[in-house]
Amino acid sequence: MAAMNCGAIDLGGTKIEARLFDAAMATIETRRIPTPRDSFDNFIAALAGQIRWLEQQADDPALPVAISIAGVIDPQTGIATASNIPVSGRGIAKALEAEIGRDLPLINDCMAFAYSEAHGGAGDGAVSVMGIILGTGVGGGLVERGRLPHRHAGLAVEIGHIGMPARALARHDLPVWQCGCGRVACLENYVSGTGLRRLAEWAGLDNPDPEHVAASVADDPGAARVMDIWADLAGEMVYTAQLLLDPEVIVLGGGLSNIPDVPQRLTDALARLRLGNSRLPAIRRAVHGDSAGARGAALMAKAYLT
């Protein structure tokens, strides 16, 4: 039945992806278009067009739809902040409602990722699930008892912009690198995909591509050293997450999560760093991969109506 379907928009700096799900949360249809970046009005028109496409595919003008966005929406003002989308300082929800005639929920993409993995994913059944996306940058989300916790300013778990501990930089004699957020030594400068590449360049590897570095560990001592340093620094990030949030399960997503031994590397690093004999969270790779953000938004669209 069409009423059992739900839809999601995965909204990023390069694309607006619309995905239609059936009642079992399997993808039925997907359409991706470039994200207009020249004006807010063109952006809203394109977003509305994707929503109408979902409604047409489902033959349901009231299709539950939610939007996963790579940015922050203030829950009180509705004002958006995003680095790669022309929406900062604007109210997306109100503008979109004026365009399509109904109100749709917006959710940070990292929170949508965590929500998806907490419901039928790698964190299913856990009381608290933290998602960490290790991509071009680093972001996090949190689900507690199956729900997204209240966020005062609309922030997700912005773990990528916590500072790397000085002790960790000193262990490896690493420089303090500038972050795009305007601060220095943010965690994502060292443990994101961009950070791994930077570490490889700092170490003088001929090919600093993260996939190549990870694949060369067995044959290249330089690559093995870089991956050991990366895992130690990423362990500091997970240790910070445990101290602040103490999740039962940590689910990894993003490109670096596909490196075969990453969950074990981070588990081993956390075991070395943990406070006393505190129990470790389970660290797992995401089940739903690249579709997790859209899937989480679609699940939220259903929840929004109940």
Same domain, 7 and 55: yes
Same domain, 133 and 267: yes
Report the share of the chain in percent with pLDDT over 70: 98
- Whether 163 is covered by a domain: the verdict is yes
Q: How many separate domains does the chain show? A: 2
User: How high is the mean pLDDT of the chain?
Assistant: 93
- Whether 86 is covered by a domain: the verdict is yes
Same domain, 176 and 234: yes
User: Can you tell me the mean pLDDT for 39-57?
Assistant: 96
Same domain, 75 and 175: no
What's the pTM value of the predicted model, to 2 decimals? 0.93
Q: Is the pLDDT reported for residue 235 higher than 90?
A: yes
The first and second tokens of residue 166, run together, are: 């000085």
Same domain, 104 and 184: no
Question: Do 81 and 71 meet the contact criterion of CB atoms below 8 Å apart?
Answer: yes
- Whether 58 is covered by a domain: the verdict is yes
Same domain, 279 and 182: yes
- Whether 61 is covered by a domain: the verdict is yes
Confidence of residue 306 (pLDDT cuts 50, 70, 90): low
- Whether 118 is covered by a domain: the verdict is no
Quick: pLDDT tens for 157-170: 999 999 999 999 99
Q: Is the pLDDT reported for residue 135 higher than 50?
A: yes
Report the share of the chain in percent with pLDDT over 90: 83
Domain that holds residue 103: 2-111+290-304
Quick: pLDDT tens for 104-122: 999 999 999 999 999 999 9
The confidence score (pLDDT) of residue 81 equals 86
Looking at the chain, list the stretches that DSSP marks H as alpha helix, in order from N- to C-terminal side.
40-58, 92-100, 109-118, 166-172, 188-191, 193-202, 210-215, 221-245, 262-273, 292-304
Same domain, 49 and 96: yes
Rounded Cα distance, 304 and 60, in Å: 17
Same domain, 99 and 131: no
Rounded Cα distance, 246 and 130, in Å: 9
Rounded Cα distance, 10 and 26, in Å: 16
The confidence score (pLDDT) of residue 2 equals 42
In the 8-state DSSP scheme, what is residue 136? S
Same domain, 56 and 81: yes
Q: Is the pLDDT reported for residue 71 higher than 80?
A: yes
Same domain, 147 and 275: yes
- Whether 49 is covered by a domain: the verdict is yes
Same domain, 167 and 255: yes
Q: Is the pLDDT reported for residue 1 higher than 80?
A: no
CATH number at residue 128: 3.30.420.40
The confidence score (pLDDT) of residue 4 equals 78
Same domain, 179 and 102: no
**Which residues are paired to 285 by β-bridges?**
252
- Whether 154 is covered by a domain: the verdict is yes
- Whether 195 is covered by a domain: the verdict is yes
